[in-house]
Amino acid sequence: MGNSEPDFYELRKYLAAWVTDVGLANQSGYMDINRISERTAMVLLNQVYDLQLQDLNKLKLNHPGVDLGDLHKGIAFQITSENTSSKIISSLETFRRNKLHERFGKGIRFFIISSDKKRKIHSVRFAEFRELFNPQTDILYPSDLQKNVEGLYHSDRPKFEKILDFLRDEFGGRSKQGIINKTLISFNSAEDKFAFYKRVISGSHQSATDRFIEFSCKIGDMEVSTTELDQHLQSSASMLILGPSGCGKSILAAQMAINFLQSGISVTLQGKYYERNLEALLEKEATAFGFDSVMDLFDAAQVLNVPMLIIIDGYNECLPEKRAKLIAELEKVKVEKNCKMLITAQLDDPLFAPFDALLVKVDFPPPLTKIKIAGAYSGKPENPKLVSLLAMVSTALEARMIGEIGAEQIEGLSRFSLFEAFISRKLGKNRRDGFLLLASTAKLLSDAISFSIYERKLDGVLRETALAVTVYEACLNAGLLEKKMAKVTFGHEMFYDFFVAESVVRFASGASEINEAIRAPKNHDKKLLIIGSIDDQEVLVEVLNGLTDVNLLLSLAFGEGGEFCCNWLDWKISDLLSKVEQEVDHLEFAMDENSLSGVNFVDSTLRSWTDHDRALIRVIPSMLSKGRLVKEVFSLVGKLDEKGNSAVQLLKEEAKQKGQSARSGIFASSYVGVAIRGCAMTWIVSCLHSGFSDFYRKQTVPVSLVEELLGKRSLYHGQFYFLLVLLRWDDKLRILYPYVINALTKNWKGLPYHLFNEILDNVTHFTKDDQQRKSLIDQLNAIHADTQDIWKSTMLFDALSALGALEDDATAYIPVVREEMELLFDDPDLEENWTWASNFYDRQFDHPYDYAYQVVIEDMEEPKKKLFYEMALKGTNRSFFASSILIDTTLHMQEKVCPLIEKWLDQPIYDKTTPQDSIKIFLFTNLICSKYCFPVLSRFKEASDPLDQSLFAAGELYYWLNRPDLSQKEKRDASAPSTKVLFSSNNEYLIDSIQESRHNLPGYDTNRLWGDSSIVHIEDFFPGECLKACYATLQNLGWQKEVLGFQRGGADVDRHAIYMLERLGGMLDIVLLRGITDHPLLGESAVEAIKKLSRD
């Protein structure tokens, strides 16, 4: 046996080389290797099994699905590198369909040229082909060939030598006769390997990157093109690309990977596939693309002296509990191997800090980019039909779908139908069964609030649905499902969302069950898809009539739910406006001392609206911002104005006796939303004024529509206000200039307060030329000279400043300010001067001549400037806006500031009217004292109020945890008393104390004092204690209280506990979170936390 081992080793080496060559060549796009391998396989099979196989293609016989055949023994062979059941079943179907069993009576066999492990074959799947094929004996691998050839060593040595000589000739580097031979794919140098690797990587990404569309992204405040990122990467150690799902991060990373190959080596790894360690992931990638090992890959880079880039695509899909290990390993590889790193993720992570990465932010594509994306995939770059359709979608992936399925196929369809058309196209003939399998799988995942399952569970789904494994494999091949090791996930989160929606409607018993699913927190981001999946119109109408979600109704209004839903909503809004008109007709006003405006609606004249009605009313402002319903609402405003004008006459005397304006009060109650109870028109106009209707959809009211409304008529006050609000902060307001200048010239005293304020707020948008601007300035100056109202005077100053009317005055005022400042320094110890210094500091930000104060303070020489800040800080005895002067003074005085700021340590909420500012100044004071190791006294022991005790403890923790002179142990020992107080099981303010502390230390402020050094937060130092606090809170909802006293309710604090658990927790915490996923206020947050904590 010892003499046979060298020959056996040589045999195994040649067979392994053959299999490797075939695999690598296929990956690099060299498909001719399969035809070449058929000849090699034919020779070996003939010699080993005494067959007379022939190349059927050369015989020009029509034998689809069969490569080799022995016409004498009636045996056929297919030679392939694919070993999936679907491939084999497909070939068997082709074999039988073409009646090849009549020529090859002993059926077909498969020779699999692959290094993959033998698959376990279930005979039941092939039962219908049992006369043609035995899955246990008719699938051969190179390992089977090896065993049979080794058996010949003893039974037929000449045949063994003949086979070995053939393999030497094919794959050996040198035969026994010393003749040099080359393997089919060999590498003579590192350059050869690199060139081959570049070809393989480029080929694997080509289909995607060939259609890559350049788009804009942001680095800090700077907008850059994706074409510029390669240059930024070259000059950076690492790069972090952040953005929401579906916005193009992965394809951008693929494009950058290929571009990097021009000068170096790039390796792309998927975050979701990180399991044991980084080395295993790199090893698999390196060997798959032609290198002997991962070290061979690094050695090649070193020999060639080229940079190396490691890309982690989809970091957020890596299991949360494994991310720290992944980042630590990446950091080590980066340092030891001098690699660059590029990471794509949805959100930032504190773990990224060691990379010092250049942060690149990408967002959903703008309309033009979506058009280009769709054009690239449709072959119709100039197709105007795409524009209206692309307005329905937000992501790059959806734009791609529109392009792929063709614009002519999807007009008038819902977002669900868009996905359906795309997925149907991917599945082809497997559409019906594929939808059932994918919907069943999505339901399984959704019920468990999970994003991946083990394949064995999917086997159970196949059994329950009586579906063939070929359906599962079709879903894998279409990219709708992905498999890695034993786990299966959806290929994209949007596919998962689609099939969850499909499962809701497919398995629901009726409209009530669908409505229940729509209300379920776990489906908060799938509501629109659920609506789109309903194909029964009776059921759909019943579901629609129960909707109260404004955002969902808005999506339907703008066509995202399909043509039927859009038409239904138009009809509902039309009916609703009739009811609004009826309400306006019956409205009455009365003086009301409990109302802010002094006037209110008479309750009995207000209509009762259902929750569904109220939601529809809140849809109208967004429709108005897109130019819809403008005429109808403008008319209703006119009717309400007429009602108000009549009421002014009735209430004028009563209002006058009370020192109030009936006109302003009625106007405010009608349109501004200050009434205790408003009418529908109040909600519409005040919501439009809030700007929320324009938050996601830019106002697109055509000027021609406004011109039509104006005609030659005069405007009621309400109609004037409505148009101002509708076109707010837009240059389209120029059309109203004649009305503005007329109102300010002839009757400014008669304008309702809020209308006057709105005119001033939009003052920079009315004028089209300098002449109009000067006329407006003259009139505002005239009003300012005539008014005795301090508030109007302030607003007029702001308006004049916005128009540039005060620029020359501000410059001229600089000497006056400088003289005022000099007076302060005559007696810097005088408390009155401290107060004036504080006031002067504030005037940089809130004064008509703020520019003058900014210039004077900036121009001071450093000693005088330092003294000024010291005086200003001494004169500041408030918390509101105090953090700014605190930071500025610290930058100039450094450690000498500490004795001046102790006053803010005595009370955590220095001013109860501004609690948030108080907490901020309290925390910053603790941190500044910590920075300079200034000793502070412990104060929580003297506090009797539980809230003060909790905040004192939190502040002292920040003090000790950020002391630069203490070790970790010393920090823990010094903070032990405050830790005990804060984390006491009786502390009802624990969660919010931690939350508000973190929230009130924003990065832009701390960076001014600490630069790149990170503040240590309580969560960072005490993660275990914080987790326990989260557990206690979420197991007893509502017991924790908020610290600011805004009475927002316990749910806000409970939500903070969820967010904290999301940041600090792991897989084991999912069970706790699942228990609150149905909570009406917390469920959505719990679901999002589960998403981030686990993909299992």
Per-residue pLDDT of 40-58, as tens digits, reads 888 899 889 888 888 887 6
HSE (side-chain half, CA atoms, 13 Å) at 1039:
14
Among the candidates 343, 363, 383, a domain finishes at: 363
pLDDT per residue as tens digits for the range 381-430: 555 545 655 665 677 877 887 777 665 555 666 778 878 887 887 888 99
Q: CA–CA separation, 619 vs 547, rounded Å?
A: 12
Position 181 pLDDT exceeds 50: no
Find out whether 1001 and 924 touch, Cβ atoms under 8 Å.
yes
Position 178 pLDDT exceeds 50: no
Cβ-based burial of 957 (10 A; exposed 0-12, middle 13-18, buried ≥19): buried
Position 643 pLDDT exceeds 90: yes
Confidence at residue 881, expressed as pLDDT on a 0 to 100 scale:
80
Could you tell me if 659 and 520 lie in one domain? no
In a domain, 622, yes or no: yes
Among the candidates 735, 762, 789, a domain finishes at: 762
Could you tell me if 596 and 733 lie in one domain? yes
**Higher confidence at residue 35 or residue 389?**
35
Which residues have CB under 8 Å from 699's CB, separation 6+?
625, 626, 726, 727, 728, 730
The counts of H helices and E strands in the chain are 51, 17
Could you tell me if 491 and 608 lie in one domain? no
Position 675 pLDDT exceeds 80: no
Average pLDDT in the 950-964 region?
Answer: 95
Find out whether 564 and 629 touch, Cβ atoms under 8 Å.
no
Q: Both tokens of residue 664?
A: 């302003």
In a domain, 681, yes or no: yes
Confidence at residue 808, expressed as pLDDT on a 0 to 100 scale:
76
Average pLDDT in the 919-927 region?
Answer: 93
pLDDT band at 158 (very low <50, low <70, confident <90, very high): confident
Which of 111, 175, 121, 120 has the alpha carbon at shortest distance from 146? Answer: 111
Burial state string for 290-327 with b = 16 or more CB within 10 A and e = fewer than 16: bbeebeebbebbeeeeebbbbbbbbbbbbbbebbeebb
Could you tell me if 449 and 530 lie in one domain? yes
Q: CA–CA separation, 393 vs 409, rounded Å?
A: 16
Confidence at residue 176, expressed as pLDDT on a 0 to 100 scale:
40
- In angstroms, the first-to-last Cα distance of the chain is 50
In a domain, 770, yes or no: no
pLDDT per residue as tens digits for the range 196-236: 777 877 776 666 677 888 899 999 889 999 899 999 998 88
Angle at 146 between CA 143 and CA 147, to 5 degrees: 95
Q: How many residues does the chain have?
A: 1096
Confidence at residue 177, expressed as pLDDT on a 0 to 100 scale:
40
For strands 139-140 and 265-270, give the pairing.
unpaired
CATH code for the domain of 288:
3.40.50.300
**Higher confidence at residue 140 or residue 82?**
140
Instruction: State the amino acid at position 983 in one-letter form.
Output: F
Average pLDDT in the 883-889 region?
Answer: 91
Could you tell me if 154 and 50 lie in one domain? yes
Mean pLDDT across the chain: 85
The parent domain of residue 1078 ranges over 1022-1096
The rounded Cα 52 to chain-centroid distance in angstroms is 61
Average pLDDT in the 739-761 region?
Answer: 91
Tokens 């058929």 — which residue? Answer: 38
Give me the percent of the chain exceeding a pLDDT of 90. 42
* pTM, two decimal places: 0.62
Please list the alpha-helical segments (H only) found in 4-129.
5-27, 32-49, 85-97
HSE (side-chain half, CA atoms, 13 Å) at 395:
17
pLDDT per residue as tens digits for the range 978-1023: 999 999 999 999 999 999 999 888 777 888 888 767 889 999 999 9
Confidence at residue 123, expressed as pLDDT on a 0 to 100 scale:
58
Position 244 pLDDT exceeds 70: yes
In a domain, 802, yes or no: no
Could you tell me if 27 and 140 lie in one domain? yes
Confidence at residue 261, expressed as pLDDT on a 0 to 100 scale:
86
In a domain, 1047, yes or no: yes
pLDDT per residue as tens digits for the range 1022-1076: 999 999 999 999 999 999 999 887 665 568 899 999 999 999 998 888 889 989 9
Q: Which of 63-67, 252-256, 884-888, 966-970 has the lowest mean pLDDT?
A: 63-67
Average pLDDT in the 939-960 region?
Answer: 90
Position 283 pLDDT exceeds 60: yes
Among the candidates 762, 779, 808, a domain finishes at: 762
In a domain, 898, yes or no: no
Q: Both tokens of residue 1023?
A: 């993660």
Could you tell me if 640 and 751 lie in one domain? yes
Specify the number of domains making up the chain.
5
Average pLDDT in the 752-776 region?
Answer: 92
The rounded Cα 180 to chain-centroid distance in angstroms is 58
Could you tell me if 344 and 423 lie in one domain? no
Position 97 pLDDT exceeds 70: yes
Could you tell me if 571 and 542 lie in one domain? no
Q: Both tokens of residue 643?
A: 């009602």
Q: Which of 88-97, 109-118, 871-880 has the lowest mean pLDDT?
A: 109-118
Q: Which of 20-29, 317-326, 361-370, 570-579 has the lowest mean pLDDT?
A: 20-29
Q: Both tokens of residue 375?
A: 């054009």
Could you tell me if 107 and 207 lie in one domain? no
Q: Both tokens of residue 609?
A: 């609206």
40, 44, 45, 50: CA torsion to nearest 10: 140
Q: CA–CA separation, 1055 vs 1049, rounded Å?
A: 11
Position 279 pLDDT exceeds 90: no
SS (H, E, C) 746-798: HCHHHCCHHHHHHHHHCHHHCCCCHHHHHHHHHHHHHHHHHCCCHHHHHHHHH
Find out whether 508 and 531 touch, Cβ atoms under 8 Å.
no
Average pLDDT in the 834-858 region?
Answer: 89
pLDDT band at 673 (very low <50, low <70, confident <90, very high): confident
Could you tell me if 44 and 166 lie in one domain? yes
Confidence at residue 386, expressed as pLDDT on a 0 to 100 scale:
57
pLDDT band at 180 (very low <50, low <70, confident <90, very high): very low
Tokens 């050869």 — which residue? Answer: 192
In a domain, 835, yes or no: no
Average pLDDT in the 781-799 region?
Answer: 86
Position 696 pLDDT exceeds 70: no
In a domain, 177, yes or no: no
Ramachandran quadrant class, 312 (left: phi over 0; alpha: psi -120 to 50; beta: rest): beta
Give me the percent of the chain exceeding a pLDDT of 70. 90
Could you tell me if 228 and 144 lie in one domain? no
Q: CA–CA separation, 52 vs 41, rounded Å?
A: 12
Q: CA–CA separation, 393 vs 954, rounded Å?
A: 45
Q: Which of 236-250, 278-292, 728-742, 1074-1088 has the lowest mean pLDDT?
A: 278-292
Confidence at residue 559, expressed as pLDDT on a 0 to 100 scale:
82
